[in-house]
Amino acid sequence: MGYVLLEISVKNNNYSNIVLVASDNKMEEIIVVGYGTQKRENLTGAISQIDSKFFNTRPTSNLVSSLQGLLPGLNIQSNNGNPGAVPDINIRGFNSINGGGPLILIDGIEGNIERLNPADVENVTILKDAASAAIYGARGAFGVVLITTKKGKVGSVAVNYTNNIGWTTPTTRTDFITDPYEFGRTVDAALTGYNGTTYTGYTGADWDTIQLVSQGKLDPFYTTLPNGENKFFYKTDWYNYLFRKHQPFQNHSISVSGGSEKIKAYLSGRYYKTATIQNIVDANLQKLNLKANIIFKVTDWLQLSDNIQFTANEQTEFGGYRTGFGGIWSNTTWYFLFPFHPNKINGMPYDNPGRWRSCCS
């Protein structure tokens, strides 16, 4: 149900009584439910549907991100900043302490929503209650997502091309202390109050030296102590060294469709590329999607169709502590990123005094 659109021109502050006229034309709308369709006026289950015009304007890497905030009862949560990660889908809250996600059906066949090109989707239907998802049995215990992709339509050949070029940026950037003198004093004061020691090991003359480096009056350098350890006098902004301020992306989609009463076809392709927030490694995400759909009506009682889809993703995952790498390749390196430490020494990445000395000297 809804109301007929009414526009009234207000002149000279003369206001009239406005009466909205109900519109029931949406009651004839067809909704996909389970293995069939129903008119909205006959619909009794908890079902939501959205057309492609509402999410095709969102240049995201996957359909899930495009649906965020568009359907009631559909909760989408992103657990990390990896552009290649698909957010979690949850319908009507968490129903089990063991987790569980909805059943995803693409043109009636269970599929991976990550491999879809959002521009190829005609509409998305969410079955939220037990009555709507009953025909799927236990597989539909956490809800069902029905995705209908685009197909060729009767008419002249239509070519559509869409591109989006832009960038993303973090909403908040942490204001770390980048002054090596101020940072060193803060760290040493904290450690002295804890156990009476210092981290920097600076003497009075060393503090004067690091202050000159901080002010740009002295070039950064390091000295090797008699015990083999290194004492550093550097000025490094680690946050801006490791992370980008902006992550550019580009999205290109093209489709060709058309046909007659006998044969209809739809062909599409997409190229998507986005940078990650990491600044020192090339960890871009690239996606390529190709789709071809042909429907051939042989006779009044026989129809042949073919639906082919190809997806290729390329994203390099660099080694970290969880994959067995340690040292300078571990995320624990971040614990030792002090402004008075260098990011490289003689062209070699620096971790901390002991590790750098053992692996690079």
pLDDT (tens digit, 0 to 9) for every residue of the chain, 361 residues total?
456 777 777 666 565 677 777 655 554 566 555 555 555 444 545 777 888 888 777 878 888 888 888 888 888 887 777 777 778 888 877 666 676 788 899 988 888 888 899 899 998 988 887 776 778 888 888 888 889 999 988 888 999 999 999 988 888 777 788 899 999 999 999 989 988 888 888 999 999 999 999 999 999 999 888 888 888 999 998 888 888 888 899 999 999 999 998 999 999 999 999 888 877 666 788 999 999 999 999 988 999 999 999 999 888 766 555 555 555 555 556 667 889 988 888 887 776 644 444 334 4
Number of domains in the chain: 3
Assess contact for 337 and 331: CB atoms under 8 A: no
Kindly state whether residues 285 and 309 are assigned to the same domain: yes
Residue 136 domain-assigned? yes
41: CATH: 2.170.130.10
Number of H helices, E strands in the chain: 6, 20
Q: Does residue 309 belong to any structural domain of this protein?
A: yes
211 and 308 both lie in a single domain? no
47: Cβ contacts below 8 Å, ≥ 6 apart = 31, 33, 125, 126, 127, 128, 132
| Cβ-Cβ contacts under 8 Å for 137 (sequence gap 6 or more) | none
Q: Does the pTM exceed 0.85?
A: no
My answer on whether 289 and 325 are in the same domain is: no
Domain end, chosen from 298, 315, 332, is at 315
Whether residue 77 is found in the same domain as residue 137: yes
Residue 192 covered by a domain:
yes
Query: Which residues does residue 304 pair with via DSSP β-bridges, in sequence order?
Result: 296
In b/e form, how buried is each residue of 31-61, taking b as 16+ CB within 10 angstroms?
A: bbbbeeebeeeeeebbbbbbebeebeeebbb
Q: Is the same domain home to 353 and 208?
A: yes
Is 145 found in the same domain as 76? yes
**pLDDT score at 327:** 54
* Domain range for 295: 156-169+245-315
Decide if 41 is inside a domain: yes
Q: Are residues 56 and 98 in the same domain?
A: yes
Q: Where are the alpha helices (DSSP H) in the chain?
A: 63-67, 130-133, 180-195, 204-214, 238-242, 353-360
For residue 28, the model assigns a pLDDT of 53
Residues 231 and 270 in one domain: no
pLDDT at 354: 44
Regarding whether 215 and 344 lie in a shared domain, the answer is yes
41 and 128 together in one domain? yes
Tokens of 6: 């009414």
Q: Examine residue 39 and state whether it is found in any structural domain, yes or no.
A: yes
Residue 295 has what pLDDT?
92
